[in-house]
Amino acid sequence: MKIFLTAILISWIVVWFCASAFPFDDGDWQYWNTEGISIKIRDDWRFDLEEELRWGDDMRNPYYNHTDAGFIYSGLADWFDLGLNYRHINEEKSSGWKRESRPHVNGTVKWKFQDFSFSNRGRFEYREKEDADDYWEYRNKFSIKPPISFTQHKIQPYLADEVFVDFDKGELYRNRLYPGVSFNIFKQLKAEIYYLWQRSKSFSTGKWSDVNAIGTKLKISF
């Protein structure tokens, strides 16, 4: 059963990597880089801080950055984390750089089946944009990791999918698929390399557009 499920997961990753190179050539290729730190405050509390930068226009133009900070509480249950965060965003638009404030609440459920690791994170966020109306948004990210790893660095494949729902419009308008690998550089420093395929709907035109991104993550824990 474990071998069967692992084969399915790896097949999905291969299919999405290969498929992305053909139907989505018209979509922009980007590079996303995230760096973070996690500090344990006490047994059930930790503080997380991350910075993310994104380059668009075939990875040539830095058009987006955010800083996200929050407290995560894991004392309610072993299988549940509760987080309260604040994100500050700067993004380049056609009219120039715009700011956004985005407080968000996160609940993450974690479990295992046949030694596969699963997680499902629900996020409610309030988006306060410069020169635009404020609105609520819901995001849900489902992830799966197989019970396999390679080398002493514990290289492990994973697959994740995230959906975005605009409460003001009452519509699902974005989906992100992430096949990737995570690994340990050393005990306290973990890294990820992933491919992201994003489809987004424009509410003004009703058309869907694609983004292909190569992403890297570094996170140090204390």
Query: What is the second-level CATH architecture of the domain 2-221?
Result: Beta Barrel (2.40)
pLDDT one-digit tens code per residue, 114-143: 999 999 999 999 999 998 899 999 999 999
Contacts of 93 (CB under 8 A, 6+ apart): none
Total Cβ atoms within 10 A of residue 146: 21
Between the alpha carbon of residue 47 and those of residues 110, 117, 140, 141, the distances in Å are 19, 23, 22, 21
Report yes or no: 215 and 194 within 8 Å, Cβ to Cβ: yes
pLDDT of residue 29: 96
Q: What distances in angstroms separate CA 59 from CA 63, 64, 192, 214, one per listed residue?
A: 10, 12, 19, 9
pTM reported for the whole predicted model: 0.86
Closest CA to 73 of 98, 103, 47, 49: 47
Q: How is residue 57 written in tokens? A: 């226009």
- Name the residue ranges covered by the structural domains of the chain: 2-221
Q: Which residues of the chain have pLDDT under 70?
A: 1-26
